[in-house]
């Protein structure tokens, strides 16, 4: 009997457990969610027009924590000074009117897709130019209500934001583009925005920009005071560094090559006028086209940019090479004229000497044989002017010889002045251009961060 009684007791408890599990299995928690939503958001129970109360049910301002996730940055436009970004925007606050029973932890949160069912902060992006929501396939937005009344709002949006730029150091510059968020109607007495503690801004790991690199980002507060009150404001500054390799390949190296090509005319013969003129004009026009193409991709600012200094100096060097040929051509023509005049003078002097020698010979032949010749004294007196002149000549010859000038000695190897101009230009132009490069790169590459 004892064994049978024990068997019936075990069977009874097993039946109770199976019944309890069956009842739990029949509970539909989606139906529970509907009842909870009807209970907290039913007609006459919740008014979305009234903001939540402050901390601990006081009449203080409602605090809203904000964090964003940057999904992509599609472009940064230098001409319009704007940038486009796609981000997931999140807000979280506490509304005690939305507390509910979580059924012993079974309901972790309630999910809504209609933002107008609950009170929402009136946040707007103050530096926004354009923006739109994403509705493919369904609107990318949700609201989660937690049992303690905490509300999480998340939405995916794309924005085109203004980004004022300082292009004085272009293309060796860094730009700071801001994202500003502020309350439109609620003052700080009613609504305060705060950055979420820990990690307020996240950026996708594989973020890629064609001409920029995102170095870092900083979060800050930017509360603004107007005639209607003080409004809470948040901002995040994105620091972008421009990628220099593109401009090095597309601008700096081609300009440097054009300047070097213009120096080829210094090595051509001064008589090759068509070749030197064609080379100078071609490089000058190419450099001007390169400069205009660079300026077309930038806004017309009133200050001088770093790229303007480079292109301006390169254009000056190319133009200087063309002017150098004009100077060489002028010196060559004037030198040839002087040479012709010198030849004519030498011929004239030679003819005069020949005529004088012929006249002297004829005079000797016509002289009487009995004529006496005046003999010059063999000894000069101290006061004799001829003796003083000979003494001066001896003193001059006895002076120490001057030290020869190496530059003049080297230039004396080139007979014409035009050739000397070409030789001097071969050395001067590269040296001055190298000095300019040293000053340029040391100025713009090794500048202080504060100057940026």
Contact 182, 231 (CB under 8 A): yes
The separation between the first and the last C-alpha atoms of the chain, rounded to the nearest angstrom, is: 97
User: Is residue 206 located within the same domain as residue 96?
Assistant: yes
Note if the bond before 171 is cis, omega within 30 degrees: yes
> In terms of C-beta distances under 8 Å and separation of at least 24 residues, what long-range contacts does 131-136 make, across chains too?
131/157, 131/158, 131/159, 131/160, 132/157, 132/158, 133/157, 134/158
Per-residue pLDDT at 450? 46
User: Is residue 227 located within the same domain as residue 312?
Assistant: no
Last residue of a domain, one of 242, 271, 301: 242
Q: Sign (positive/negative) of CA torsion 314, 316, 322, 324?
A: negative
Query: Which DSSP helix (H) or strand (E) runs through 203?
Result: strand 201-203
Position 345 in a domain: no
pTM: 0.72
Position 371 in a domain: no
Position 452 in a domain: no
Number of domains in the chain: 2
User: Is residue 315 located within the same domain as residue 197?
Assistant: no
Closest CA to 99 of 61, 53, 141: 53
Output helix, strand, coil percentages for the chain, rounded to the nearest 5: 45, 25, 30
Both tokens of residue 165? 């730029």
Q: What is the CATH number of the domain that holds 144?
A: 2.70.170.10
Position 267 in a domain: yes
User: Is residue 80 located within the same domain as residue 229?
Assistant: yes
Spatial CB neighbours of 21, under 8 Å, sequence gap ≥ 6: none
Last residue of a domain, one of 210, 242, 274: 242
Core vs surface per residue 72-91: b (16+ CB within 10 A) or e: ebeebebeeebbbbbbbbbb
User: Is residue 152 located within the same domain as residue 103?
Assistant: yes
Position 315 in a domain: yes
User: Is residue 83 located within the same domain as residue 188?
Assistant: yes
Per-residue pLDDT at 269? 81
User: What gap in Å lies between CA 234 and CA 227, rounded to an integer?
Assistant: 20
Position 133 in a domain: yes
User: Is residue 141 located within the same domain as residue 55?
Assistant: yes
Last residue of a domain, one of 218, 242, 266: 242
User: Is residue 72 located within the same domain as residue 132?
Assistant: yes
Residues of the chain with pLDDT under 70: 1-29, 335-348, 352, 354-415, 448-452
Query: Which DSSP helix (H) or strand (E) runs through 91?
Result: strand 82-94
Whole-angstrom CA distances from 241 to 160, 180, 304, 452 are 19, 20, 20, 11
CA angle 58, 59, 63 (to 5 degrees): 85
User: Is residue 229 located within the same domain as residue 272?
Assistant: no
Pairing of strands 201-203, 62-77: parallel
User: What gap in Å lies between CA 350 and CA 327, rounded to an integer?
Assistant: 34
User: How many residues comprise the chain?
Assistant: 452
Whole-angstrom CA distances from 272 to 26, 277, 279, 317, 329 are 103, 9, 11, 21, 10
Residue-number span of the structural domain to which 186 is assigned? 33-242
Both tokens of residue 191? 């609504």
User: Is residue 65 located within the same domain as residue 204?
Assistant: yes
User: Is residue 74 located within the same domain as residue 193?
Assistant: yes
Position 252 in a domain: yes
Sequential DSSP letters for 353-369: HHHHHHHHHHHHHHS-T
User: What gap in Å lies between CA 186 and CA 62, rounded to an integer?
Assistant: 10
Position 182 in a domain: yes
Distance of CA 235 to the CA centre of its chain: 23
Whole-angstrom CA distances from 450 to 178, 214, 360 are 19, 19, 90
Q: Sign (positive/negative) of CA torsion 408, 414, 416, 420?
A: negative
Q: What is the mean pLDDT of the chain?
A: 81
Q: What is the CATH number of the domain that holds 314?
A: 1.20.58.390
User: Is residue 254 located within the same domain as residue 173?
Assistant: no
Per-residue pLDDT at 413? 58
Both tokens of residue 315? 């254009």
Closest CA to 77 of 308, 297, 249: 297
């Amino acid at each position: 009997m004892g064994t049978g009684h024990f068997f019936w007791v075990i069977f009874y408890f097993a039946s109770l457990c199976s019944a309890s599990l069956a009842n739990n299995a029949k509970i539909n928690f989606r139906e529970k969610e509907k009842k909870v939503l009807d209970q907290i958001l039913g007609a006459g129970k919740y008014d979305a027009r009234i903001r939540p109360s402050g901390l601990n049910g006081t009449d203080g301002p409602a605090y809203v924590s904000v964090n964003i996730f940057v999904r992509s940055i599609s472009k940064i436009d230098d001409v319009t000074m704007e940038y486009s970004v796609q981000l997931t925007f999140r807000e979280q606050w506490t509304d005690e009117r939305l507390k509910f029973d979580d059924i012993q932890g079974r309901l972790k949160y309630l999910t809504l897709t209609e933002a107008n069912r609950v009170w929402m902060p009136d946040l707007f992006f103050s530096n926004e130019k354009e923006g739109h929501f994403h509705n493919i396939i369904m609107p990318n937005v949700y609201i989660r209500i937690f049992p303690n009344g905490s509300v999480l709002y998340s939405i995916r949006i794309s924005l085109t934001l203004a980004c004022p730029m300082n292009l004085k150091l272009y293309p060796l510059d860094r730009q700071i583009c801001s994202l500003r968020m502020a309350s439109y109607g609620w003052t700080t007495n009613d609504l305060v925005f705060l950055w979420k503690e820990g990690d307020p801004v996240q950026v996708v790991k594989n973020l890629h920009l064609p001409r920029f690199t995102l170095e870092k980002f900083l979060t800050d507060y930017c509360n603004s005071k107007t005639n209607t009150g003080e409004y809470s404001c948040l901002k995040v500054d994105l620091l972008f560094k421009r990628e220099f390799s593109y401009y090095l390949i597309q601008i700096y190296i081609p300009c440097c090559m054009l300047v070097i090509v213009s120096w080829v005319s210094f090595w051509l013969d001064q008589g090759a006028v068509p070749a030197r003129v064609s080379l100078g004009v071609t490089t000058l026009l190419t450099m001007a086209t390169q400069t205009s193409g660079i300026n077309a991709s930038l806004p017309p600012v009133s200050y001088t940019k770093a790229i303007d200094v480079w292109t301006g100096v390169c254009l000056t060097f190319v133009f200087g090479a063309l002017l150098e040929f004009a100077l060489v051509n002028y010196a060559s023509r004037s030198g040839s004229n002087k040479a012709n005049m010198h030849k004519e003078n030498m011929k004239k002097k030679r003819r005069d000497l020949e005529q004088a020698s012929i006249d002297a010979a004829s005079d000797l032949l016509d002289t009487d044989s009995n004529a006496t010749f005046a003999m010059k004294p063999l000894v000069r007196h101290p006061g004799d002017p001829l003796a003083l002149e000979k003494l001066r000549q001896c003193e001059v010859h006895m002076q120490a010889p001057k030290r020869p000038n190496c530059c003049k000695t080297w230039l004396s190897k080139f007979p014409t002045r035009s050739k000397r101009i070409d030789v001097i230009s071969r050395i001067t132009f590269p040296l001055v251009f190298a000095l300019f490069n040293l000053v340029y790169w040391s100025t713009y590459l090794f500048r202080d961060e504060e100057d940026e």
